[in-house]
């Protein structure tokens, strides 16, 4: 009974579901992507789409028309606007104890952060670096803009 209902309702959108291959090194996954987005990993430039897995040490880059949203395994949500460069410098999470560390770096562009289980369990265990500051996150939501120093300051 339940199964037959599920089939009817879901066949409509099953086509949109993207299969993802799980890997122990995966710490997050791209859930939204618009325009030009790529991931730099070990010197390689990988094209990134919805479903692409993110690993520690990846750098996520968006173009002038790009934006990207990533859900991490501790439920932290990071999303970047156009012309952004976001490096995942360190990511560790224990799903049993919720202990972990999450250090990222926004060297240019804009970023929205909804902190997850890491920051809730250990206030300060999540940090975001910008060119001139370091942000220690206690369970919260915030936005941050990084000034890459390249453009005249018109703001």
Residue 114 near residue 70 (C-beta atoms within 8 A): no
φ, ψ of residue 50 to 5 degrees: the values are: -60, 130
What minimum distance in Å lies between the beta carbon of 23 and another protein? 10
What minimum distance in Å lies between the beta carbon of 115 and another protein? 7
- Paired with 70 in beta bridges are 30, 78
Binding mask 120-149 for another protein (x = CB under 8 A): ----x-----xxxxxxxxxxxxxxxxxx-x
Instruction: Based on the shown chain and the rule CB under 8 A, indicate whether residue 87 belongs to the binding site for another protein.
Output: no
- Residue 18 per-residue DSSP state: P
The residue behind tokens 């089939």 is 7
d(CA 149, CA 151): 6
Binding footprint of another protein, residue count (CB under 8 A): 67
Residues from 19 through 58 that contact another protein (CB under 8 A): 19-22, 29-34, 50-51
Instruction: Based on the shown chain and the rule CB under 8 A, indicate whether residue 77 belongs to the binding site for another protein.
Output: yes
- Residue 14 per-residue DSSP state: G
Which residues lie near another protein (CB under 8 A)? 2-3, 5-7, 9-11, 13-22, 29-34, 50-51, 67-71, 75, 77, 79-82, 84, 109-112, 114-115, 119, 124, 130-147, 149, 153, 155
């Amino acid at each position: 009974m339940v199964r037959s209902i599920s089939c009817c309702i879901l066949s409509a959108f099953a086509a949109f579901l993207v299969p993802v291959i799980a890997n122990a090194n995966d710490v997050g996954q791209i859930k939204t992507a618009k325009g030009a987005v790529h991931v730099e990993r070990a010197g390689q430039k990988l094209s990134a789409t919805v479903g692409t897995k993110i690993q520690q040490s990846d750098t996520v880059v968006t173009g002038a028309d790009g934006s990207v949203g990533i859900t991490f395994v501790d439920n932290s949500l990071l999303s970047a606007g156009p012309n952004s460069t976001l490096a995942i410098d360190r990511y560790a999470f224990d799903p049993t104890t919720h202990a972990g560390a999450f250090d990222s770096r926004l060297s240019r562009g804009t970023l929205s952060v909804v902190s997850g289980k890491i920051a809730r369990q250990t206030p300060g265990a999540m940090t975001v670096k910008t060119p001139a500051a370091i942000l220690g996150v206690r369970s919260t939501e915030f936005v941050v803009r990084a000034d890459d120093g390249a453009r005249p300051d018109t703001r």
